[in-house]
């Protein structure tokens, strides 16, 4: 039988090889990518693992993806969080390996810097943190950690330059901490506080807020007053807090000064600004805003059973008067029309105003009284008018004279109903008020209105 001769088609074999090799490369790539992705996911999952097994899981992730910075970061974080001195060196190596695999990620260089500083490598820590700051010059974290590192080294000027930049980058988070560190480092030196804050209106306002919390109200008010008109408009919340704080501690003249500045910043004309020894809007010609918006103007709040509004019919003078309509037997108390008024201490005043009534009926009608603002509880008023008569009456003048105390800064002028001790104290009818006016009639001309 004739020998069979086998022939090999080399061209066909070569074509098969050319087909298999790319498939093998693709398969290897898919396997490598899969391992990388799996390792990365496992590393991210490690924080949810409790106990010693977290380290095993992290090491598995590193074996699956040895060139993934996340796996080395996770191992380093576990080592650092163990709080064991021997583990800190491993944490440094882990962070350094992660940073070498992702050299443009500033966050990793921050971690390198922190870890190096923890093991005493101050030079290496500074180098890493400066690298992080170069990569992310507008982010606060590199500046914050670098500033803290420099401060621990006694390089205060350099440190606070970095800390200020951290505060500028994230004011809400870092500025209060920066101010607190400056206060402690320099013993509350205001010049150093100003240098740390910088020149921007927002930073100066933030410093003023910090100083209010420290009880340094005069310094805070000085920063407020140093702002220009634009700065005051933008930082109106600071002015509001200063005004409120001054009222709370009974420094009413300082509160009045802030209120005038706030009003001027909002465009109020000079004649509309509140003043010492003057009833604001005494004739109710400027309208009446919501209670609480400003302290030194009429405070008028709603009360069940009564309507309080401006009335253009038959004012005593000008275009308006204030009308109060009582229409319910349940109006037992009424203290809803008042004004805070800055005055001088140890000074005698005359308060005039006009009242008319229409079909006023009931018991315990209405009086006008003056009392020292911020006085002790139970302190009697400085002056009280006679109760309004029942029935209908034309405009009549009411005059009260009173002398302020030796430390008084403000008084409260208020319209209220006489106390009623009965279960039911009905009152009906209408009352109009107009033309409140205050005059100084006695006392030392040099009395200090800021005496406390």
Question: Of 114, 104, 156, 158, which Cα lies nearest the Cα of 134?
Answer: 104
Listed by start position, the domains of the chain span: 199-275, 298-443
pLDDT tens for 365-394 read 899 999 999 877 778 999 999 999 999 999
Classify the C-alpha dihedral 57-65-97-131 as positive or negative: negative
Rounded Cα distance, 395 and 170, in Å: 61
Give mean pLDDT, residues 165-187.
94
Considering only 193-207, 211-225, 292-306, which range has the smallest mean pLDDT?
292-306
Residue 199 has pLDDT above 80, yes or no: yes
pLDDT tens for 34-75 read 444 444 544 444 454 444 455 555 556 556 666 677 777 777
Residue 420 — very low, low, confident or very high, per pLDDT cuts 50/70/90?
confident
pLDDT at residue 63, rounded to an integer:
61
What's the topology of domain 298-443? Jelly Rolls (2.60.120)
Which pair of tokens denotes residue 248?
A: 């709370």
pLDDT tens for 329-371 read 555 567 789 999 999 999 999 999 999 999 999 878 899 999 9
pLDDT at residue 271, rounded to an integer:
59
Question: Of 387, 389, 395, 406, which Cα lies nearest the Cα of 444?
Answer: 406
Provide the β-strand partners of residue 309.
323
In whole numbers, what is the pLDDT of the chain averaged over residues?
83
Give mean pLDDT, residues 249-268.
87
pLDDT at residue 360, rounded to an integer:
94
pLDDT at residue 452, rounded to an integer:
40
Residue 328 — very low, low, confident or very high, per pLDDT cuts 50/70/90?
low
106 vs 427, more confident = 106
Residue 189 has pLDDT above 90, yes or no: yes
pTM: 0.76
Rounded Cα distance, 239 and 392, in Å: 46
pLDDT at residue 282, rounded to an integer:
94
Instruction: Residue count of the chain, please give it.
Output: 452
In percent, the amount of the chain with pLDDT more than 90 equals 58
């Amino acid at each position: 039988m004739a020998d069979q001769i086998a022939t090999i088609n080399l061209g066909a074999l070569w074509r098969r090889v050319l087909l298999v090799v790319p498939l093998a490369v693709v398969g290897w790539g898919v396997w490598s990518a899969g391992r990388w992705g799996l390792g990365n996911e496992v590393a991210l999952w490690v924080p949810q693992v409790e106990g010693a097994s977290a380290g095993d899981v992290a090491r598995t992730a590193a074996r699956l993806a040895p060139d993934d910075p996340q796996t080395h970061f996770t191992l380093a974080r576990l080592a650092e969080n163990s709080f064991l001195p021997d583990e800190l060196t491993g944490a440094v190596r882990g962070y350094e390996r992660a940073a070498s695999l992702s050299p443009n990620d500033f966050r990793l260089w921050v971690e390198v810097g922190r870890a190096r500083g923890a093991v005493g490598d101050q030079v290496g820590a500074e180098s890493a943190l400066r690298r992080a700051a170069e990569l992310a010059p507008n982010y606060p974290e590199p500046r914050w950690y670098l500033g803290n590192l420099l401060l621990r080294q006694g390089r205060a000027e350099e440190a606070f330059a970095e800390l200020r930049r951290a505060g500028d980058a994230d004011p809400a988070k870092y500025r209060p901490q920066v101010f607190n560190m400056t206060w402690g480092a320099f013993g509350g030196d205001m010049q150093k506080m100003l240098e740390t804050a910088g020149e921007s209106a927002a930073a100066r306002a933030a410093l003023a807020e910090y100083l209010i919390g420290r009880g340094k109200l005069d310094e805070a008010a000085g920063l407020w007053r140093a702002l220009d008109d634009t700065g005051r408009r933008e930082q109106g919340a600071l002015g509001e807090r200063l005004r409120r704080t001054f009222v709370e501690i009974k420094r009413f003249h300082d509160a009045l000064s802030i209120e005038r500045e706030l009003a001027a910043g909002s465009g109020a004309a000079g004649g509309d600004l509140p003043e010492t020894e003057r009833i604001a809007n005494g004739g109710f010609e400027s309208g009446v805003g919501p209670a609480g918006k400003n302290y030194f103007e009429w405070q008028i709040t709603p009360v069940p059973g009564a309507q309080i509004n401006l009335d253009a019919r038959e004012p005593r003078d000008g275009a308006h008067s204030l009308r109060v309509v009582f229409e319910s037997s349940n109006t037992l108390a009424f203290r809803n029309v008042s004004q805070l008024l800055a005055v001088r201490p140890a000074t005698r005043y005359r308060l005039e105003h006009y009242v008319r009534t229409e079909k006023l009926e009931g018991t315990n009608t209405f009086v006008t009284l003056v009392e020292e603002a911020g006085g002790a509880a139970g302190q009697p008023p400085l002056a009280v008018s006679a109760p309004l008569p029942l029935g209908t009456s034309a405009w009549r003048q009411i005059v009260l004279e009173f002398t302020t105390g030796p430390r008084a800064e403000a008084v409260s002028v208020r319209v209220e109903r006489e106390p009623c001790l009965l279960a039911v104290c009905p009152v009906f009818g209408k009352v109009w008020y107009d033309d409140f006016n205050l005059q100084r009639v006695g006392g030392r001309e040099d009395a200090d209105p800021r005496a406390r």
